[in-house]
C-alpha cells in the first residue's frame, strides 16, 4: 500500500514537472515569437551612407558602422526644401521648437511628412535627454496659419493640433523647412545623411523598413 502511495506521489511530481517545463517552453516560444514576428524589434539609426552593394547598406554612425539590408518592402523617402509660405492648413508635420515666455513656441526646424506618413509619432513631448532646456518635438496636423510679425521678424504662426492638445508655433523665415517625398534607391548616394528604421531578425540582422534621405543642411 505504501509502495503504491509512493508511486502515485512520484507520478504526480513527474506530471507537475512536465507541466512546468511545458509552461516554461510555451512562454519562451511566445516571447521569441513576439521578438521576431511581423512587427519585430525595431531600431532607429542615423548616419551617413558608406556603401551600397546589392541589398546591403552600410551606414556610418557615431558608434560605428552598421549593416542594414534592403528589401522589396523598404520605403525610401527624400527631403526637398520648401518655403515657409508653403506651410498651409491640413499639412501633417513635425517641428522642433522652444517654448517662449508667452506660452507659444519658436520653431527651429520643420519637416512636412509625406501623406502616407500621416499620424506618425503624433504628439508633443520634450526633445532629448534634457527636458529643462525647453526644446520640444511636436507632430500633428496644421489647423490654422497666419502671417504675423514677432519682434520685427516676419514669420508664420501655425496652430498644430495633436491627440490630446494643440500648440502655437511661430515659424521664422530662416530655419530649415523640408517636405518628405517618396523616392527610390537612386536617392541612396554615398555620403548622404539618412535616418532609418529597421526590424531585427532572429539572427540579429537588420532589415530597413523605411529610410529618409535628409536634405543638405
Q: What is the pTM of this model?
A: 0.70
Domain shared by 99 and 143, yes or no:
yes
What's 193-211 look like in SS3? EEEEEEEECCCCCEEEEEE
Reduced DSSP (H G I as helix, E B as strand, rest coil) percent helix, strand, coil of the chain, to 5: 20, 50, 30
Range of the structural domain that residue 115 is part of: 81-180
- With CA atoms as reference, report the closest residue to 40 among 50, 29, 48, 32: 32
Helix (H) or strand (E) holding 4: helix 2-36
CA angle, 168 then 147 then 85, to 5° = 100
Per-residue pLDDT tens, the chain, 217 aa: give them. 444 444 444 445 444 444 443 434 443 343 333 333 344 578 999 999 999 999 999 999 999 999 999 999 999 999 999 998 899 999 999 999 999 888 889 999 999 999 989 999 999 999 865 555 689 999 999 999 999 998 889 999 999 999 999 999 999 999 999 999 999 999 999 999 999 999 999 999 999 999 999 988 7
112 and 158 in contact (C-beta within 8 Å)? no
Q: What is d(CA 35, CA 184) in angstroms, rounded to the nearest whole number?
A: 29
Domain shared by 87 and 176, yes or no:
yes
- The CATH number covering residue 57 comes to 2.40.50.140
Domain shared by 59 and 127, yes or no:
no
Domain shared by 90 and 172, yes or no:
yes
- DSSP-based three-state secondary structure for 96: strand
Amino acid at each position: 500500500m505504501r509502495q503504491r502511495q509512493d508511486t502515485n506521489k512520484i507520478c504526480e511530481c513527474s506530471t507537475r514537472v512536465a507541466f512546468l517545463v511545458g509552461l516554461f517552453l510555451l512562454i519562451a516560444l511566445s516571447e521569441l515569437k513576439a521578438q521576431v514576428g511581423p512587427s519585430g524589434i525595431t531600431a532607429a539609426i542615423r548616419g551617413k551612407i558608406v556603401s551600397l552593394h546589392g541589398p546591403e547598406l552600410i551606414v556610418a554612425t557615431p558608434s560605428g558602422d552598421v549593416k542594414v539590408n534592403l528589401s522589396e518592402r523598404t520605403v525610401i523617402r527624400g527631403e526637398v526644401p520648401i518655403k515657409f509660405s508653403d506651410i498651409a492648413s491640413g499639412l501633417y508635420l513635425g517641428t522642433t521648437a522652444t517654448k517662449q515666455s508667452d506660452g507659444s513656441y519658436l520653431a527651429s526646424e520643420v519637416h512636412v511628412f509625406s501623406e502616407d506618413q500621416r499620424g506618425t509619432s503624433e504628439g508633443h513631448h520634450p526633445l532629448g535627454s534634457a527636458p529643462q532646456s525647453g526644446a520640444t518635438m511636436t507632430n500633428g496636423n496644421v489647423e490654422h496659419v497666419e502671417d504675423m510679425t514677432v519682434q520685427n521678424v516676419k514669420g508664420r504662426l501655425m496652430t498644430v493640433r495633436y491627440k490630446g492638445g494643440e500648440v502655437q508655433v511661430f515659424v521664422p523665415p530662416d530655419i530649415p523647412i523640408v517636405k518628405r517625398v517618396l523616392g527610390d534607391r537612386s536617392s541612396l548616394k554615398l555620403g548622404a545623411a539618412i535616418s532609418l528604421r529597421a526590424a531585427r531578425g532572429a539572427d540579429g540582422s537588420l532589415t530597413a523598413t523605411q529610410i529618409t534621405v535628409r536634405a543638405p543642411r
